[in-house]
Amino acid sequence: MPEPHAHATRWTLDATLASLPLPATAKWPDGVFDIEVFARSGTSLELFAPRGEDRQTPHAQDEFYIVVAGEAELHVREADGSMRVLPARPGDALFVAAGVEHRFHAISGDFAAWVVFFPRESA
């Protein structure tokens, strides 16, 4: 994994995927399938490549998913309690606001997305 440089850094999908899964945890018994590759000033970049069930919980930051491989459905809890289903395919960018319940379902075996976490807009 490249070390972040003050001016520029490059991460590749193949090299980052090769570092997954990380060791299993109670929450992710089959191994952790996301890895943070960059963090600065409240913004971070991760690669998320879940295998099997997506067990994530709502995050304290807004996030963008940029799908780079495979397919899935992103289920997002709306303010009225209903569940919205968004297709997630290569080339798609998906936004989820901080604190909103969401999970991927119908995940293909090769699904991968870069995730950019960033601070929630202040009121």
Residue 114 placed within a domain: yes
34 strand-pairing partners: 48
- Alpha carbons 13 and 23: distance in angstroms, whole number: 20
Measured between alpha carbons, how far is 122 from 6 in angstroms, rounded to an integer?
A: 27
- Residue 97, domain extent: 36-71+89-123
32-84 tens-digit pLDDT:
899 999 999 999 999 999 988 898 899 999 999 999 999 999 999 999 999 99
φ, ψ at 16 (rounded to 5°): -70, -40
Other Cβ atoms closer than 10 A to 23: 7
Tally of domains within the chain? 1
Query: In CATH, what number is assigned to the domain containing residue 50?
Result: 2.60.120.10
94 found inside a domain: yes
Segment 13-29, tens digit of pLDDT: 999 999 988 888 887 78
Residue 79 DSSP class:
T
